Amino acid sequence: MLKYEEVKKAKRRFLALTGLTVKEFEAILPAFARAYERAYPTNKTVEGKECKRKAGGGAESELNSYEDKLLLALVYQKSYPIQELIGVVFGLSQSRVNYWLHKLLPVLRDALDDLGLLPERDGSKFASHERGKGKKAPLIIDGVDRRRQRPKKAEKQKLHYSGRKKTHTDKNVVIVNAKTKRIGYLSTTYAGKVNDKKIADEESISYPRQTTLYKDTGFQGYEPPKVKTQQPKKSHVKGN
């Protein structure tokens, strides 16, 4: 059974499982605990009714620390595995995994929002969102695919099939600060077949003036106004 106190000792494994260093995890933990206590006060039931037992009464939780709760939420968000697999890793049934994810994911979102770490989701507001983060830095735009279950209907199979990834995916466009590596923008989710540039055009993203934007060939022809774009050129050198 995966426990925070054990896995934090293996720093590389911890980073691979959560996407965070132990230091970054511990920086988020206080905000996560506060958000959890707001959502689920100890004097009330999950349904919001006053508890008849004193705090601490009743059966002990499978995830009895904020560290283990946050760990489960992050492991799920990092790899998006099926719930059965999460259950094996954390020693829970699939139904309990489902129960905990419904509780913990909104808490994680609120904690990140309190810390100002959530990316902007409205393209028209991205410029003001970035200006509020302080000193301007170059930005990187990219398309990100996530594997998904193969749809049952043939038309959906075709729509979600990514030829580049050779599997069925959902796709988002993200914009990252080149210096801090912070994700400043996350687009709406699209089917895997949709082209990166088409998503960027659909999202109507506004950028701070004089932004330098790095892009790959998936954004060929994407030239937002008052933005200087940089795109790597294809090498014409042939191998031996």
Q: What residue segments make up the domains of the chain, in order of their start?
A: 4-114, 123-230
Q: Which residue has the higher pLDDT, 47 or 97?
A: 97
Residues 204-218 have a mean pLDDT of 95
% of residues, the chain, pLDDT over 90: 68
Could you tell me the pLDDT band of residue 128, with boundaries at 50, 70 and 90? very high
Instruction: Name the residue among 213, 215, 208 with its Cα closest to residue 232.
Output: 215
Q: What is the pLDDT of residue 46?
A: 56
Angle between helices 94-114 and 83-90 (to 10 degrees): 90
pLDDT recorded at residue 58: 46
pLDDT of residue 59: 47
Alpha-carbon distance of 205 to 187, in angstroms, equals 9
Q: How far is CA 109 from CA 74, 102, 103, 118, in A?
A: 11, 12, 11, 8
Q: At residue 239, does pLDDT exceed 60?
A: no
The total number of residues written for the chain in this structure? 240
